[in-house]
Amino acid sequence: MHIRKLLEQRFQQAFQQAGAPADANPQLAPAGRPEFGDYQANGAMAVAKSLRQPPRALAQKVVDALDLSDIASKVEIAGPGFINITLHDTWLGKRLDGALSEAHLGVEPAAQPQTMVVDYSSPNLAKEMHVGHLRSTIIGDAVVRVLEFLGHRVIRQNHVGDWGTQFGMLIAYIEHVSSGGAAQLSLALEDLEGFYRNAKQKFDAEPAFADTARAYVVKLQAGDAHCLRLWQQFIDTSMSHCERVYERLGVTLRRGDVKAESAYNTDLPWVIADLGKQKLLRESEGAQCVFLDEFTGKDGAPLPVIVQKSDGGYLYATTDLAALRHRGSELRADRVLYFVDARQSLHLKQVFAVARLAGYVPSTCSLEHLAFGTMMGEDGKPFKTRAGGTVKLMELLDEAEQRAYVVVSGKNPELSEGELRAIARSVGVAAVKYADLAKNRINDYIFSWDQMLALDGNTAPYLLYACARINSIFRKGELSDTHFTGHIRLEHPAERKLGLALLRLGEVVEAVAADCNPNLLCSYLYDLAGLFMQFYEACPVLKAEDATRSSRLLLCRHTAAVLQRGLDLLGIETIAQM
RNA sequence: GCGCCCGUAGCUCAGUUGGAUAGAGCGUUGGCCUCCGGAGCCAAAGGUCGGACGUUCGAAUCGUCUCGGGCGCGCCA
């Protein structure tokens, strides 16, 4: 159990003995200032109010009832009724010894593991992956890793777009190119983006081709074998491209996590029929709609959720409903998380509302849209290439590696070319991912090479450097595992601060799991790296003697482990040197 | 017109869900090398938290209004 939870339990008991209701929240938090100790309980003021008692008097009763003698060296009341707790140095040392001996670094699995369905990445397979897919992919993957680390059952759902109207056009174009032979086709498919562009061009220029394309959409949806075969060929090529991107990004999505739009194809008529049976449908201008009172449009009239077009075709709302039913009723999710652009928030609200109304998800199932803002260039406008096109992820990563190479080789020219290349590969990807993860999801995000590759501040290079620096201590000391013995003793203030921070990993990871905000973990790791630098500055490690030396070595080792684990949870790999 | 999101140091961003004197990095200024990686550490300066009113012991955080910016709003996804 992490420290805050432990204190919470002790305080809850004490609050009850002091006359507070059973559900009173002691409001435990890390201390806001060093002079307030290590943790503070802020709940006395609120509870005193509901009990109509003077807050300081209640705080005193709580402290009287509280028994922290085994873990705290000081408990005092301050200000209007804050209760400040200072923990025993020796107790902290023992906690650290214990945490260090575990693979999970003292983080306990969730008491009640849940089933989490996580919808992220979900690119459209008609084109190459581009920057628009980056945030969902990176943030979603980090949250997935955190949830799994806490022992939850995570079901990834890569809801790729493989079934829109563009696919008729692409199939027709495949057929056109194949007339030049199989080799011609595989060559053409190597450049997916170019393939799409050429198909579109032909579509716009040649009415006959456009007619064929439109006819193929219908044939495809009717299950025509020829069209399906061509379609499958295209999908396979495009999926392989996505997998190369995932591989390079270090994203955990695999082929088995794909649950494409087309997978719900046969459910769509059922959804319409079922909504009809439940009297939720109303026809409007020829389309089948669900009207919800809580959503109104331009003239104040209820806004429809169109689930079937007047021509009988289905829309993405229909597919999303089918997906929600699958996730809620078949996968039995406790939480369904959508890492989707903020611009889709109305759409998702509507779909969630319809799904609940129709009973497609249990009422206990939490549906969450984890929205994120748009990626902007440094000019504050949507991030584009110089020519104004969308930035492909592969090209973005190429540039990241090149720029990382320049930075790393400039700072550490004695490394070999091979080492530099390998380091640049890691640093480049890490910089791109970390810059995204470190920011609050909901704001638009300004993409800046200089900032993400900076060696100072809350960046991947700074954290990777901190890891490398710790490693170099071990290298320099020529230490093997047998050297890491003894116990951690927190004597110097810098050691104490570092040790206390190391014990907070569990609190932070739980907060990330609750809010799906990986930036909390980034801030924590950055703070931790800063505390380590301060410790390292103030406390000689290799030059220290006996028990102090082994204690400090253990602190270094634990810091390295927490940094490495934390970065791993963010989907970022660490490197031995840089 | 209606709805959602955002306004925090010159710039880029935090702020643990209502807690004590609002924090980092960059940039600016000034310190620290008998140093285990100085890619570091310490310190200074920089703020009416867009504005107003309200809720209460207490507001960057909650409510109402207002100004500014972004996005969305019937058969694309």
Q: What DSSP line would sit under A146-178, residue for residue?
A: HHHHTT-EEEEEB--B--STHHHHHHHHHHHHH
The nt closest to A539 (CA vs C1′) is B36
CA of A461 to C1' of B31 (A): 27
Contacts of A334 (CB under 8 A, 6+ apart): A114, A115, A116, A364, A365, A366
The SS3 of residue A333 is: coil
Q: Which residue is nearest to nucleotide B35 (CA to C1')?
A: A537
Residue A382 is given by DSSP the state B
Measured CA distances, A7 to A76, A112, A154, A471, A490 (Å): 14, 20, 30, 34, 20
The nt closest to A296 (CA vs C1′) is B2
Measured CA distances, A261 to A158, A161, A315 (Å): 9, 6, 11
Could you tell me where the beta strands, DSSP code E, fall in A365-427? 366-369, 375-376
pLDDT of amino acid A243: 97
User: How far is the C-alpha of A515 from the C-alpha of A537, rounded, in Å?
Assistant: 35
CA of A105 to C1' of B65 (A): 50
Sheet with strand A287-296: strands edge to edge: A281-284, A287-296, A302-308
User: How far is the C-alpha of A391 from the C-alpha of A375, rounded, in Å?
Assistant: 11
Token pair recorded at residue A474: 């071990």
pLDDT of amino acid A35: 87
Buried b (16+ CB within 10 A) or exposed e, A519-531: bbbbebbbebbbb
| Residue among A71, A101, A83, A107 nearest A508 (CA) | A107
User: How far is the C-alpha of A42 from the C-alpha of A59, rounded, in Å?
Assistant: 10
Phi then psi for residue A567, to 5 deg, are -65, -40
Nucleotides of B under 7 A from a protein CB: 1-7, 12-17, 19-20, 24-27, 36-42, 56-58, 70-77
CA of A1 to C1' of B57 (A): 33
CA of A573 to C1' of B26 (A): 26
Question: pTM surpassing 0.90?
Answer: yes
CA of A308 to C1' of B10 (A): 53
Measured CA distances, A247 to A107, A150, A203, A419, A540 (Å): 28, 24, 33, 20, 41
Regions in chain A scoring below 50 on pLDDT: none
* Residue A180 burial class via C-beta count within 10 angstroms: exposed 0-12, middle 13-18, buried 19 and up: exposed
pLDDT of amino acid A99: 94
User: How far is the C-alpha of A195 from the C-alpha of A188, rounded, in Å?
Assistant: 6
Contacts of A67 (CB under 8 A, 6+ apart): A10, A14
Q: Which residue is nearest to nucleotide B71 (CA to C1')?
A: A343
| Vertex A486 angle, CA A485 and A492, to 5° | 120
Count CB atoms within 10 A of the CB of residue A536. Answer: 20
Q: Which residue is nearest to nucleotide B13 (CA to C1')?
A: A439
Q: Which residue is nearest to nucleotide B36 (CA to C1')?
A: A542
Measured CA distances, A233 to A101, A133, A166, A170, A369 (Å): 50, 23, 15, 11, 33
Q: Which residue is nearest to nucleotide B1 (CA to C1')?
A: A298
The nt closest to A544 (CA vs C1′) is B36
Token pair recorded at residue A100: 């260090």
The nt closest to A455 (CA vs C1′) is B39
pLDDT, one tens digit per residue, over A63-87 is 999 999 999 999 999 999 999 999 9
The nt closest to A55 (CA vs C1′) is B57
CA of A458 to C1' of B59 (A): 28
CA of A214 to C1' of B22 (A): 59
The nt closest to A462 (CA vs C1′) is B39
Task: Give me Rg for the CA atoms of chain A.
Answer: 28
Phi then psi for residue A36, to 5 deg, are -90, 5
CA of A511 to C1' of B57 (A): 29
Place of tokens 């290298």: A475
Count CB atoms within 10 A of the CB of residue A460. Answer: 27
Contacts of A298 (CB under 8 A, 6+ apart): none
The nt closest to A313 (CA vs C1′) is B75
CA of A577 to C1' of B53 (A): 57
Contacts of A562 (CB under 8 A, 6+ apart): A105, A502, A505, A525, A528
- A571 and A251 in contact (C-beta within 8 Å)? yes
**Sign of the C-alpha dihedral, residues A378, A383, A389, A392?**
positive
The nt closest to A286 (CA vs C1′) is B75
The nt closest to A80 (CA vs C1′) is B57
CA of A51 to C1' of B61 (A): 25
CA of A552 to C1' of B16 (A): 29
